[in-house]
Structure formats: structure tokens, C-alpha cells
């Protein structure tokens, strides 16, 4: 589309907002953009903010391509229509609504709740900000048919988002995801949105429900006697201005931990995230203040949760006494190892237990599961697929835990999304167990590597912006498919998993077998020396992601640094071969 055609289309859409049933302040802002800010006008109206398989996520502001009460309203009305069509047999449909600490999150949550109520639903609305996993728990606790949390996770402060959940407490998956999208697309005008009516249907829930949620977390503890012995474990925790501020310390205290240090500047609830550039616990800078505090008080562990408290970053002392941040694979390995060991010692393993991981997460979890004869499942990237496995096995098998490399972890079946509140409790308990044996979490990790092999993972993202970039990413994927590497870093490729074609191929024999997972544009190469390379275009950003997993023996604890250097070199060599 030519630039002037696009501009004219954008102006037409903006004028529809000026003429339509929108509030006075919105109209004034649209008028200002029309008269003074052509660039922002185009960004705000050049497309409709897409309701994707996970819901909405975008920059806040006026316009069809922005998060505002009208785009949230259209999403909620479409979702309401779909819920009604699925549960028409029920006398009373119930939903739950929560939100994080972002700017406008309360406004969007209240707007969502009012639209649900106007559609005749019973609505459980939290009285203030709450972690995303508590919303998942609430859906199941109150017997709801759906739920919404207003959050943009760890995105920059300009963003907000909207995630839809189904009656199992998991984010919507097929066929509901695409069916909801279709219903949202049918809403063509704000006049179709029921913004008000039946507000008596809204029930505010608060502190009493927090007690129920944290009691559930306390019940997940597998070694309360160890916590009692190590209750003085020194823990530094930061919510990075988000929803963990109240419930993470509450859960830790309920378990019996008495030595919890906060970072006062980051306990300030603020959607501006004033002390960090990005409120992402994967980034070292986000944990800097907490690590500084940990050095001051000589803490044992540091934990940080993202704004909606579904992911946790952990820092521990290494063998030199310096704090280092664990990656998501390492945290998942420590927690899975602890849980399976204790379930075994407590005679709770009956042969019907299982764990779940995503396909790009470390294979170390598989080795740990095999040792304890615990079944494991691999799923596509996204925690909603872990929730789907739990639903499929409900009543037949027992879910112990599940994890993904991007800092998400879940224990037990009461919540159906990643849960940093319960994960923080389990990290502290695992650290207490280590301390009870005279060890640190880092030493425990090295022992795991010594037993199963030193698994080392790394992620590289190649950014390709714009239309040309998107085409280039597709060409890269097509090239890997049509001409896959025969060897990687001198080791023969023994297996290729193509999730788009849904098949596994063994190049040497030509033997193929099916992949029983939904189609996804992901390729994986497995080599004879235990390396795993995964390639996938990002679903939300203009980039292609490469996940590297390499492995070597760790004969002696003292060899850790030497072997780590070898594995880092291995990944560098693989990157060079793949042209990254």
C-alpha cells in the first residue's frame, strides 16, 4: 500500500473514532494526533491490535492498534460471546479477573469485569494487583468457566496485555484459541460492547483468598522438617515493582522461613518500574539491587519475580563466593531433582507420576526423570501446553512438576500456569536442603552435573526487522529444512525433529517416525555427542531463535570451570558453523 493510501486509511479510521461512541478524552487525543503527530497517528491506527492465541499485547494509547478500554472491550465482548455459546446449559456462568502492577491495569481489569457482568456472568474480581498464577488458581477454586489477567509480563512499561484462560485454569489452547479469535473479529463496533449493567454480579475477593492460595503452596512442601532446621536461611527477594510483593514473602514465612530481606526501592508498586530498564528476571541488571543487598547481608540465595510473578530468577554463590544468576534450565534441574528425590524417599512414587518440559528445555530433566522411573512429556514452547498435558492426564496420573528454559516452573496441579510464588517457596526449600547437608545450591548443581553429565545451554536471537527480515527468516528455515547439516561441530547429526512436518528423521538410515504434537515452525538437530540445536522464528518479535544444548562429562567437581570453558567453546563453534 502506498504511503498516502495508508495515511488516508489511517485518517478515515481516526475520524470514525471522532464521530463514534468514544469518551471525550480519547477524542481529544485522536484530534491532537490528526493535527500534530502524523507518525504516531499511523502507528496507532494502521492496523487492529491482534487478538492472538494468547490474547492481546501492545503499547497503551488511543487507536485500533493500541491497548485501551475499547480494544480490551472488543476482546472481552468477543470472549463473552464465545463463553456463552460453550456453556449455554449453565444457569450461571462464572469468570475471574486479575491484573498486575502496570499503568492502566486496574482500569482494564475493571472494564473487563463490568463487561463480563453486563453479559450476565458472575465475576470474581481481585481487590488489587495479584500474581497471574493466583488467577489460574481462582478459576479452579471458584469453578469458573473462564478468566482474564491483565498483564504484559516483563515487557517495557509502555505495554500492557490481556491473557484469556479456560475452565481448567490454563491459558486457552486449541480449539478455543482460534474460535475466540474468530468471535473477537466479529465485533466490528464499540457499540456492540456491553460496557455496563448487572454490576451487582461482581464480587470483590481479597486477603481471605490469599490465605487459601498460600495454604495450598505450603502444602506443596515435601520436607517441612528441613525448613524447621534451616529457618534462618538468608533470603533476599525482590518483586521488581510487581505482584509478588505481598504473596512471595507471605508464602516463605508461612513455610517457616524467618530471614527474608527485601529491597525497599523495588517493593514500590509501580508500572513505571523506576529502578530498572527492563523488569525481566532473566536480565542481570534487573537483579543488581537484590544482589547488592545479598552481598551486604551475606545471603544464601537471591530471588526475583517478574511483574506478574509467574517467572522467577535465582542468584546463588558460586565456588568463588560470587553471586551468579542461574539460567532457567539450571533452576528447573535443581527443583526437579529435589522433588523427585524427596518423593522417592517419602515412598510417594507409585509409577503413575510424571513431569513435563518444553522441547527447547534441557534434556537433563529427562535424565533425572529416568533415574526415578518417572514418566516425562515434551511439549511445544509455551506453558499452556504443559497445562494441556495436566488436563489430559487428570485423574489418571499425578503431575509432579514442569518447567521451561525461560524461567517458568510449576509444582502440583492446583495452578495451571507457571507459578513463581510456589517456585520461590521451592527454591528456598531446596536451598535449605542443600544447607542442611552443608552445601550451597551451586554445589548441589555441580553434583547433578557430575552424576548426569554437564549440560550447558545458551540462547542466541538473530533480529531481522521488517518485511524483508520476515522473508529472510523464512528463507533460513527453508534452508535448514531442505539442506540440513550432516554434522555439527564435527559430531554426526543422528536425529532431526521437524515440528512443521511433524516427523522425526534419522539421516543415517532414513527411518522416520511421527511427532504427536501440533504443527509448529521448529527444527531440532540432535548429534552423536549429545548436543541439541533448536531453531524457531519468534512468534511475537522479528527474530529467529537458536537454542543450544551441549554436554560433556564432569569427572571431578574441581573440573567445573575447565569443562564449562570447553562447552562454551563448543557453542561458539556451532554458532560459527551456522553463521550466527
Give 200-209 pLDDT, tens digit per residue: 999 999 999 9
Q: Is residue 214 part of a domain?
A: no
Pairing state between β 56-59 and 94-99: unpaired
Question: Could you give the angle at the alpha carbon of 229 between the alpha carbons of 227 and 230, nearest 5°?
Answer: 60
User: Within this chain, do residues 187 and 266 fall inside the same structural domain, yes or no?
Assistant: no
Q: Is residue 213 part of a domain?
A: no
User: Within this chain, do residues 289 and 346 fall inside the same structural domain, yes or no?
Assistant: yes
User: Within this chain, do residues 182 and 313 fall inside the same structural domain, yes or no?
Assistant: no
Indicate the pLDDT class of residue 542, thresholds 50, 70 and 90: confident
Output the pLDDT for position 388: 97
Contacts of 32 (CB under 8 A, 6+ apart): none
Query: CA-CA distance, 409 to 336, in Å (whole number)?
Result: 10
Q: Average of pLDDT values for 272-297?
A: 96
Q: What CATH number is attached to the domain comprising 574?
A: 3.30.310
In this structure, the number of other CB atoms found within 10 A of the CB of residue 470 comes to 14
Indicate the pLDDT class of residue 470, thresholds 50, 70 and 90: confident
Domain boundary among 146, 179, 205: 205
User: Within this chain, do residues 238 and 128 fall inside the same structural domain, yes or no?
Assistant: no
Three cell numbers at 369? 526423570
Query: CA-CA distance, 505 to 479, in Å (whole number)?
Result: 17
Distance of CA 374 to the CA centre of its chain: 24
Q: Average of pLDDT values for 341-351?
A: 97
Look up the domain containing 24 and give its range.
Answer: 1-46
User: Within this chain, do residues 276 and 180 fall inside the same structural domain, yes or no?
Assistant: no
* Total domains present in the chain: 4
Backbone torsions φ then ψ of 111, nearest 5 degrees: -60, -45
Output the pLDDT for position 180: 95
Q: What CATH number is attached to the domain comprising 342?
A: 3.40.120.10
User: Within this chain, do residues 405 and 425 fall inside the same structural domain, yes or no?
Assistant: yes
User: Within this chain, do residues 172 and 73 fall inside the same structural domain, yes or no?
Assistant: yes
User: Within this chain, do residues 41 and 160 fall inside the same structural domain, yes or no?
Assistant: no
User: Within this chain, do residues 95 and 42 fall inside the same structural domain, yes or no?
Assistant: no
Output the pLDDT for position 1: 45
Give 217-228 pLDDT, tens digit per residue: 999 999 999 999
Q: Is residue 54 part of a domain?
A: no
Domain boundary among 205, 229, 260: 205
Output the pLDDT for position 540: 62
Output the pLDDT for position 2: 54
- DSSP-assigned states of every residue in 402-461: EEETTTEEEESSS--S--HHHHHHHHHHHHHHHHHTT--HHHHHHHHHHHH-EEEEEEEE
For residue 153, indicate whether it is catalytic. yes
Nearest to 180 by CA among 268, 52, 269: 52
User: Within this chain, do residues 2 and 83 fall inside the same structural domain, yes or no?
Assistant: no
Q: Is residue 289 part of a domain?
A: yes
- Whether the Cβ atoms of residue 178 and residue 53 lie closer than 8 Å to each other: yes
- Average pLDDT of the chain is 96
Q: Average of pLDDT values for 34-61?
A: 91
Strand order in the sheet with 312-317: 260-262, 235-238, 301-305, 312-317, 323-325
The residue length of the chain stands at 580
Query: CA-CA distance, 282 to 305, in Å (whole number)?
Result: 10
Q: Is residue 212 part of a domain?
A: no
Q: Is residue 53 part of a domain?
A: no
Q: Average of pLDDT values for 549-558?
A: 95
**Catalytic member of 101, 153, 221, 251:** 153
Q: Is residue 211 part of a domain?
A: no
User: Within this chain, do residues 376 and 520 fall inside the same structural domain, yes or no?
Assistant: no
Q: Average of pLDDT values for 137-150?
A: 98
Least confident residue range of 78-92, 293-307, 456-470: 456-470
Give 354-379 pLDDT, tens digit per residue: 999 999 999 999 999 999 999 999 99
Domain boundary among 205, 240, 263: 205
User: Within this chain, do residues 481 and 518 fall inside the same structural domain, yes or no?
Assistant: yes
Give 12-32 pLDDT, tens digit per residue: 999 999 999 999 999 999 999
Q: How many CA atoms lie within 13 A of 76 on its CB side?
A: 35
Q: Average of pLDDT values for 426-452?
A: 98
Q: Is residue 12 part of a domain?
A: yes
Q: Is 73 exposed, middle or buried (0-12, 13-18, 19+ CB in 10 A)?
A: buried
Give 493-536 pLDDT, tens digit per residue: 999 999 999 999 999 999 999 999 999 999 999 999 999 999 99
Continuous segment of H or E residues that includes residue 147:
strand 146-150
- Whether the Cβ atoms of residue 311 and residue 404 lie closer than 8 Å to each other: no
Amino acid at each position: 500500500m502506498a504511503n498516502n493510501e495508508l495515511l488516508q486509511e489511517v485518517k478515515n479510521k481516526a475520524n470514525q473514532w471522532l464521530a463514534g461512541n468514544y469518551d471525550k478524552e480519547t477524542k481529544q487525543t485522536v484530534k491532537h494526533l490528526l493535527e500534530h503527530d502524523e507518525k504516531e497517528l499511523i502507528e496507532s491506527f494502521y492496523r487492529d491490535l491482534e487478538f492472538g492465541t494468547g490474547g492481546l499485547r501492545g503499547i497503551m494509547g488511543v487507536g485500533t492498534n493500541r491497548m485501551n478500554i475499547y480494544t480490551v472491550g472488543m476482546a472481552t465482548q468477543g470472549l463473552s460471546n464465545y463463553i456463552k455459546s460453550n456453556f449455554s446449559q449453565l444457569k450461571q456462568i462464572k469468570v475471574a479477573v486479575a491484573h498486575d502492577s502496570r499503568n492502566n491495569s486496574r482500569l482494564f481489569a475493571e472494564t473487563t469485569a463490568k463487561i463480563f457482568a453486563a453479559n450476565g456472568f458472575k465475576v470474581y474480581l481481585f481487590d488489587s494487583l495479584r500474581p497471574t498464577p493466583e488467577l489460574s488458581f481462582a478459576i479452579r477454586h471458584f469453578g469458573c468457566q473462564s478468566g482474564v489477567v491483565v498483564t504484559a509480563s516483563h515487557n517495557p512499561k509502555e505495554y500492557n496485555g490481556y491473557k484469556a484462560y479456560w475452565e481448567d485454569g490454563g491459558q486457552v489452547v486449541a480449539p478455543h484459541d482460534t474460535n475466540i479469535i474468530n468471535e473477537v473479529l466479529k465485533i466490528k463496533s464499540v457499540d456492540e460492547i456491553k460496557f455496563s449493567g448487572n454490576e451487582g454480579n461482581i464480587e470483590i475477593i481479597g486477603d481471605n483468598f490469599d490465605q487459601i492460595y498460600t495454604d495450598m503452596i505450603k502444602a506443596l512442601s515435601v520436607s517441612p522438617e528441613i525448613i524447621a532446621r534451616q529457618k534462618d536461611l538468608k533470603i533476599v527477594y525482590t518483586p521488581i515493582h510487581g505482584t509478588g510483593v505481598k504473596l512471595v514473602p507471605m508464602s516463605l514465612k508461612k513455610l517457616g522461613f524467618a530471614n527474608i530481606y527485601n529491597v525497599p526501592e523495588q517493593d514500590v508498586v509501580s508500572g513505571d518500574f523506576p529502578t530498572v530498564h527492563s523488569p525481566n528476571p532473566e536480565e542481570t541488571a534487573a537483579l543488581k539491587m537484590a544482589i547488592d543487598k545479598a552481598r551486604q547481608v551475606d545471603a544464601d540465595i537471591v530471588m526475583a519475580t517478574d511483574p506478574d510473578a509467574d517467572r522467577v530468577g535465582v542468584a546463588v554463590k558460586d565456588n568463588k563466593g560470587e553471586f551468579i544468576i542461574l539460567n532457567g534450565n539450571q533452576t528447573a534441574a535443581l527443583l526437579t531433582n529435589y522433588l523427585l528425590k524427596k518423593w522417592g524417599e517419602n515412598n510417594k512414587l507409585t509409577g503413575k507420576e510424571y513431569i513435563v518440559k518444553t522441547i527447547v528445555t534441557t534434556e537433563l530433566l529427562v535424565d533425572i526423570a529416568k533415574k526415578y522411573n518417572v514418566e516425562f512429556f515434551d511439549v511445544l514452547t509455551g506453558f499452556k501446553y504443559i497445562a494441556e498435558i495436566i488436563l489430559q492426564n487428570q485423574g489418571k496420573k499425578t503431575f509432579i512438576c514442569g518447567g521451561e528454559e525461560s524461567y517458568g516452573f510449576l509444582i502440583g496441579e492446583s495452578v495451571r500456569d507457571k507459578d513463581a510464588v510456589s517456585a520461590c517457596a521451592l527454591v528456598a526449600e531446596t536451598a535449605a536442603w542443600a544447607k542442611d547437608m552443608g552445601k550451597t545450591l551451586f554445589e548441589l548443581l555441580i553434583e547433578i552435573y557430575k552424576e548426569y553429565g554437564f549440560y550447558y545451554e545458551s540462547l542466541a536471537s538473530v533480529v531481522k526487522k521488517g518485511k524483508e527480515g520476515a522473508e529472510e527468516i523464512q528463507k533460513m528455515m527453508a534452508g535448514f529444512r531442505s539442506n540440513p547439516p550432516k554434522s555439527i561441530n564435527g559430531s554426526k547429526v543422528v536425529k532431526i525433529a521437524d515440528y512443521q512436518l511433524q516427523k522425526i528423521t534419522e539421516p543415517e538410515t532414513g527411518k522416520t517416525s511421527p511427532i504427536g504434537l501440533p504443527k509448529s515452525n521448529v527444527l531440532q538437530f540432535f548429534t552423536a555427542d549429545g548436543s541439541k540445536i533448536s531453531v524457531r522464528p519468534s512468534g511475537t518479535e522479528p527474530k529467529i531463535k537458536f537454542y543450544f544444548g551441549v554436554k560433556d562429562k564432569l569427572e571431578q567437581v574441581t573440573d567445573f570451570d575447565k569443562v564449562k570453558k570447553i562447552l562454551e567453546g563448543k557453542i561458539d563453534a556451532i554458532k560459527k558453523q551456522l553463521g550466527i
